[in-house]
Amino acid sequence: MDKVVVSDGRIYVGDYTSQKVFVFGMDGKMCAVLDKRGRGPGEYLQIQSFSVDTGKLYVLDQFESTVLSYDAGTLAFLDAEKAPGPAWDFAALHDGGFLFAYAPMEGNPVRDRSLQYRVTVTDGKMRVKETFFPYAEDEADAFSIAPDLSENGDTVVYGSFREDGYCLFDRSGGQLKEHVRFKFAKPVPDGDRSSLLAVMGGGYTFLASVPYKSGSCCALNLSIGGAGQLCVFDEKGERLLRQPDGSMRNVLTGIIGSAGPCLIGNWQDKSIYAYMTKNGFERAEPDEEAAILADAPFLVFYRMKE
């Protein structure tokens, strides 16, 4: 599972290895599979990312730099539009437009100099409406935190390794709503942000994944002194919280998406379920537990308290 989106009572799961998007009901039963890899009309060469909104499933084809749209219910092909430039991630907006995210890296194709921005907002015909966070022609990040975007309801979250923080965009039309910047005890120096060797070997603290927002909190993966740590940022209290010690009862793990008041975790296999429940996490219902122990794929929905 590379990405999970919940929309209109369905769960969309992107598997970029198999180049498919699986569609499930909220009861876990499979409804459909988008499997259109190829070079013909309505087909894609490589799924870079996908997004779901207003009854449409969108796929960003990295090779063709094209966004293809399908009916979210039937998966019938609808349309295709060339993206404004290369992008690592994108999100569909309620007005039919799109928000694209890009991080310049060593060896990446040079974009149109008029579009040297980390975030670009377009309308449905890929005409640029607004741009954010320009980058210099010779600027490069040590790595991309892809996926660079997460979506939940009316909000798109953009994560930034370069600036140690994230931004909230209004999904109605791509308006920037809020910046959140962290002041880490040992941040990556500006001079080291282009060197993967320096970043990974310096014992620094930096954002390692896009945050996933649920209510007034965001779950985010940090690299702290070379070790990964899933933390929760309480936006109301402006506190960065680490995981509780001891019991697994309230521990988050494998966060891969969010929907409404819930964060969504991919625990990957039954061994993680066995470890978590043995150490205090609430067990699933008997029929669900039987499926998990039989190695059926599963997701965990964490309902977050305000």
Any idea what DSSP says for residue 244? Answer: P
What average pLDDT does the segment 100-109 reach? 86
Amino acid at the residue 22: F
Q: Could you tell me the two tokens for 141?
A: 């990040």
Percentage of the chain surpassing pLDDT 90? 85
pLDDT tens readout for residues 24-69: 999 999 999 999 999 999 999 999 999 999 899 999 999 999 999 9
* Residue 77, SS3 per DSSP: strand
pLDDT band at 80 (very low <50, low <70, confident <90, very high): very high
Tell the residue number behind the tokens 């039963």, with chain if given: 29
211: Cβ contacts below 8 Å, ≥ 6 apart:
150, 157, 159, 166, 218, 219, 220, 233
C-alpha span between 266 and 247 (Å, rounded): 19
pLDDT, residue 86, reads 84
pLDDT, residue 43, reads 97
What average pLDDT does the segment 169-173 reach? 97
What average pLDDT does the segment 136-162 reach? 91
pLDDT band at 119 (very low <50, low <70, confident <90, very high): very high
Question: Which of 172, 142, 177, 143 has the alpha carbon at shortest distance from 157?
Answer: 177
pLDDT, residue 113, reads 75
pLDDT at 108 over 80: no
pLDDT at 110 over 80: no
What average pLDDT does the segment 133-151 reach? 90
Q: What is the 3-state secondary structure (H, E, C) of 140-178?
A: CECCCCCCCEEEECCEEEEEECCCCEEEEEECCCCEEEE
Average pLDDT of the chain is 93
pLDDT tens readout for residues 58-78: 999 999 999 999 999 999 999
Tell the residue number behind the tokens 């009862």, with chain if given: 249
What average pLDDT does the segment 226-239 reach? 91
What average pLDDT does the segment 135-144 reach? 89
Q: Could you tell me the two tokens for 8?
A: 């209109």
Helix (H) / strand (E) element for 271: namely helix 270-278
C-alpha span between 194 and 143 (Å, rounded): 8
Q: Is-above-0.85 flag for pTM?
A: yes
222: Cβ contacts below 8 Å, ≥ 6 apart:
205, 206, 207, 208, 228, 229, 230, 231
What average pLDDT does the segment 284-306 reach? 93
Amino acid at the residue 242: R
pLDDT band at 160 (very low <50, low <70, confident <90, very high): confident
